[in-house]
Every structure is written in structure tokens, then in C-alpha cells.
């Protein structure tokens, strides 16, 4: 083994420093239950961004901000002609969010830079840590806004005009918090993109596996469904003469659940929102509106789920008691990650002696968009009870450190080491 390879294999992050940074950031917007509420483009988001920028500058990075507020902290490499290696995530949270969702990926990237500084390691390609704007979509839509604009999934002008429930626009709020940057919000050549993240599900913990090698993300189809029946008095109307929209909804929900079970283990099907009208105790519901969320690892299965949903709606419509209206409102194609980058994560885990398993992401992440313009991969670590988007979201320090070490090794493999 040559000196460079030996140095890389011995490199480790400072797990205690990474944990401390996570806890420090979590104080901004801390909730009584131990979580974080730091919505995008609020004053608290500004404070979190300012803290990251200060830390990045203290680590010797140059910082630039693009027109949608994405923050890029750059540690220069030896060869400025090479495209950089990127890592990052987001620091905005859900209203009842946790300390780790998104924040871990950003601060694990920062810890990589700090650890390289500790050893005075110079990489061949530059390394950049990115904070993506409004990944959660809690305050503004669309979700994954910053990375979506970056890869041209959304137009910048339209996104800047998006408003929250109080009528405040993305553009105005970016200016208010001082993060309406001048750098074009446009993708540039990238050698590799890695994103470390808590799993947000139960598989790694249940299998006692510290590292998830993410091979891709499930494709998604979202639908709005309207079921029209007829309101009637709950007492005088016989059961066999009712046009009960809620009963039809219950049957549809059962069918939706069965769709994913028919395509286990990676398919998902969910009714997450429902509204019944008139929602009165003694009135048979006349109208029900509900959402359907279908997810699968490839378009073939996703198309089968779509066909099954349409068939279930058609059967209920043909019964003649209710009228069904189905509209697809979102489509995210399945996104496989780059085989070489996935391999780099897998090899890093092996080099470190960390058990790992391949896993598919059921949630959307900024990496899903970055994979459209750069070789990308993700690193998952377990979270307690698989819980996320919740104030009790938690992760073990040893898993935090393990994922950070895998990220360090994978990024060094992509960026290259010049000197030791």
C-alpha cells in the first residue's frame, strides 16, 4: 500500500466534534420536546445559516450563495480545473422536526473538511459542502426547492414568486434574511455528490446494520381523489339505498393498501389525507376528498400500481352509488444512483469494517435531484425506532460517527489525495 492509500485508510473524523456541532445547531429553534422547529427562510433559518457560514469560514472555506439561497462552502483542491466533489443536505426542518434530518448531512460534510484540516491533507479536486434551500417544503412549495432549481427541475422566477400561507414570497423572504445571493442558481460540472442522512425508517435499526448503502430512490405518483355521493339523514335512509361517499372511500383505502402488499417489499401505497363533507354526526357523507401516494423502485411497478388504483376507482364508479374523480398531481421518476458512487460507499464501509446493506430510499432527498446532473449516492445511518419528522427523532453517536467516516472515505476516493 502506497503512502497516500495508507493515509486515506487511516483517516477518521472527530465524532465528538460532529456530535457537538449537531447539538449546537439544534439549539436554534429548539422545542420543549427536544426537537427543532426551524422553517425555511425564517429568522431562525437565518441564524442557522449564519452559524454554518461562520463555521465554514473558520475552516478556511470560501462561501458563495446562489439566487435561490443555496450555500456553497468550498475547500480548494490542488487542481482548479477539476470539477469539485460535493456533499450536503438541508438545515430547514418540519414544524415538529428533529435534530438530525438534513442537519446531519450538512454537518457531516463540514466535519470532513475539518478533519482534512486537522491532518493538513490536500485533495486533488476541491470539496464543497452545500446547504440546500427549503428541502422540507413545510413553509413553501415545492419541496426540495433549492436543489430542484439548481438542476432545472423548477424555474427560478416562478419559485421566487411562491408564497406561504401568510402571503410572503420566497424572493422577499430570501432578501429579508440576507440570503438572496448573486451566483446563478444553475448546476455546474460536479465530479461526485454524496449525501449522508438518517434512514427515516426502521430497516437498519431492525437489522442492527450501521450503514445503509443507498442504491436509489423510489419513484412517486401522488393523486387527488374526489368521491361524490349524496348527503342524507343517517336515521331515515335505509342502508341499501345510501350513496355513502365515506363508505366508498373506506373501500378505496383498503384497495390502495393492498396495491403495495401485492408488490412487496419495496412498493408503498398510502392514503395520508382525507376530508369528509359535511362531516356531521348524523349525516351520511356526500363528498370525500383524499390523497393517494404510490411509490416503487422502478416505473414498471409504479405503472402497475397506477393501473390498480385506476381499476379500483372504476369499480367503485361502476357500482353507481358514487362518482369517482382521480387526478395525478405529482410524478417523481424512480432515481437509481450512480453505480460507481454506490460502489465507493460500499467499499468505504468495508474498508472501515462496518457492516452495511443495500437499501432503497423511500423518501425524497436533494440527492435525488443531484443525480440528474452528477454521479450521486447516499449514505444512511439508523435512527431510533425509524422515527423522523418528529421531535423525538434520535440517532446514536456511534452511528453518527460511522456514517461520517464512510462519507470521508468515499469523498477522498472521489477527490483524490495530493500530499500527506
User: What's the mean pLDDT in 411-416?
Assistant: 97
The answer to whether 76 and 128 have CB atoms below 8 angstroms apart is: no
Q: Specify the pLDDT at position 262.
A: 97
Q: How far apart are the first and last CA of the chain?
A: 14
Query: Residue 228's closest CA among 312, 291, 321?
Result: 321
> Mind listing the pLDDT tens digit for each residue in 141-150?
999 999 999 9
Residue 79 vs residues 73, 122, 315, 416, 419: alpha-carbon distances, Å: 17, 10, 63, 10, 13
Chain centroid to CA 103: how far? 11
pLDDT band at residue 6 using 50, 70 and 90 as cut-offs: confident
Q: Specify the pLDDT at position 420.
A: 57
> Mind listing the pLDDT tens digit for each residue in 213-223?
999 999 999 99
Residue 12 buriedness (CB in 10 A; 0-12 / 13-18 / 19+): middle
Q: Are strands 232-233 and 283-284 parallel, antiparallel or unpaired?
A: antiparallel
The answer to whether 83 and 415 have CB atoms below 8 angstroms apart is: no
Q: Specify the pLDDT at position 2.
A: 60
Q: Specify the pLDDT at position 9.
A: 77
User: What's the mean pLDDT in 27-45?
Assistant: 98
* pLDDT of 4 over the 60 cut: no
Q: Specify the pLDDT at position 362.
A: 92
Grid coordinates in use for 373?
A: 446532473
> Mind listing the pLDDT tens digit for each residue in 47-67?
999 999 999 999 999 999 999
* pLDDT of 45 over the 80 cut: yes
> Mind listing the pLDDT tens digit for each residue in 176-204?
999 999 999 999 999 999 999 999 999 99
Grid coordinates in use for 420?
A: 500527506
DSSP assignment of 384-405, as one string?
GGG--SSTT----HHHHHHHHH
Sign of CA dihedral 253, 308, 294, 245: negative
* pLDDT of 419 over the 80 cut: no
CB-based contacts of 308, cutoff 8 Å, min separation 6: 255, 259, 262
What percentage of the chain carries pLDDT values higher than 70? 98
User: What's the mean pLDDT in 407-414?
Assistant: 97
Structural domains of the chain, with CATH: 3-217+334-419 (3.40.630.10), 219-332 (3.30.70.360)
Grid coordinates in use for 238?
A: 335505509
What percentage of the chain carries pLDDT values higher than 90? 95
> Mind listing the pLDDT tens digit for each residue in 241-294?
999 999 999 999 999 999 999 999 999 999 999 999 999 999 999 999 999 999
> Mind listing the pLDDT tens digit for each residue in 299-337?
999 999 999 999 999 999 999 999 999 999 889 899 999
User: What's the mean pLDDT in 8-30?
Assistant: 95
For residues 419 and 139, the model is more confident at 139
Between CA 337 and CA 371 the distance in angstroms is 6
Greatest Cα-to-Cα distance within the chain, rounded to the nearest angstrom:
86
Amino acid at each position: 500500500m502506497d503512502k497516500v492509500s495508507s493515509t486515506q485508510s487511516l483517516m477518521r473524523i472527530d465524532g465528538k466534534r460532529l456530535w457537538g456541532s449537531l447539538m449546537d445547531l439544534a439549539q436554534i429553534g429548539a422545542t420543549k420536546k427536544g426537537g427543532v422547529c426551524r422553517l425555511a427562510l425564517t429568522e431562525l433559518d437565518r441564524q442557522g445559516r449564519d452559524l454554518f457560514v461562520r463555521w465554514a469560514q473558520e475552516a478556511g472555506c470560501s462561501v458563495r450563495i446562489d439566487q435561490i439561497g443555496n450555500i456553497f462552502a468550498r475547500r480548494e483542491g490542488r487542481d482548479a480545473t477539476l470539477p469539485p466533489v460535493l456533499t450536503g443536505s438541508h438545515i430547514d426542518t418540519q414544524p415538529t422536526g428533529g435534530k438530525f434530518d438534513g442537519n446531519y448531512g450538512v454537518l457531516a460534510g463540514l466535519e470532513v473538511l475539518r478533519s482534512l484540516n486537522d491532518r493538513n491533507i490536500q485533495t486533488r479536486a476541491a470539496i464543497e459542502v452545500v446547504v440546500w434551500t427549503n428541502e422540507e417544503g413545510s413553509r413553501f412549495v415545492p419541496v426540495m426547492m433549492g436543489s430542484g432549481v439548481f438542476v432545472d427541475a423548477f424555474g427560478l422566477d416562478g419559485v421566487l414568486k411562491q408564497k406561504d400561507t401568510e402571503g410572503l414570497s420566497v424572493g422577499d423572504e430570501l432578501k429579508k434574511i440576507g440570503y438572496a445571493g448573486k451566483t446563478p442558481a444553475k448546476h455546474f460540472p460536479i465530479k461526485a455528490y454524496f449525501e449522508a442522512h438518517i434512514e427515516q425508517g426502521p430497516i437498519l435499526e431492525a437489522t442492527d446494520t450501521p450503514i445503509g448503502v443507498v442504491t436509489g430512490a423510489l419513484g412517486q405518483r401522488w393523486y387527488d381523489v374526489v368521491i361524490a355521493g349524496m348527503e342524507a339523514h343517517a336515521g331515515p335512509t335505509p342502508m341499501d339505498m345510501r350513496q355513502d361517499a365515506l363508505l366508498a372511500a373506506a373501500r378505496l383505502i383498503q384497495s390502495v393498501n393492498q396495491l403495495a402488499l401485492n408488490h412487496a417489499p419495496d412498493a408503498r401505497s398510502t392514503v395520508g389525507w382525507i376530508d369528509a363533507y359535511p362531516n356531521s354526526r348524523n349525516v351520511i357523507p356526500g363528498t370525500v376528498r383524499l390523497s393517494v401516494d404510490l411509490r416503487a423502485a422502478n416505473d414498471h411497478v409504479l405503472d402497475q400500481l397506477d393501473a390498480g388504483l385506476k381499476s379500483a376507482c372504476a369499480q367503485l364508479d361502476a357500482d353507481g352509488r358514487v362518482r369517482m374523480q382521480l387526478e395525478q398531481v405529482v410524478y417523481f421518476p424512480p432515481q437509481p444512483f450512480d453505480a460507481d458512487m454506490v460502489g465507493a460507499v460500499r467499499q468505504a464501509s468495508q474498508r472501515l469494517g462496518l457492516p452495511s446493506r443495500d437499501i432503497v430510499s423511500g423518501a425524497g432527498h436533494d440527492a435525488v435531484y443531484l443525480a440528474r446532473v452528477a454521479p450521486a449516492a447516499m449514505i444512511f445511518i439508523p435512527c431510533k425506532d425509524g422515527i423522523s419528522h418528529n421531535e423525538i427523532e434520535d440517532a446514536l453517536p456511534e452511528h453518527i460517527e460511522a456514517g461520517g467516516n464512510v462519507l470521508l472515505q468515499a469523498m477522498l476516493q472521489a477527490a483524490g489525495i495530493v500530499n500527506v
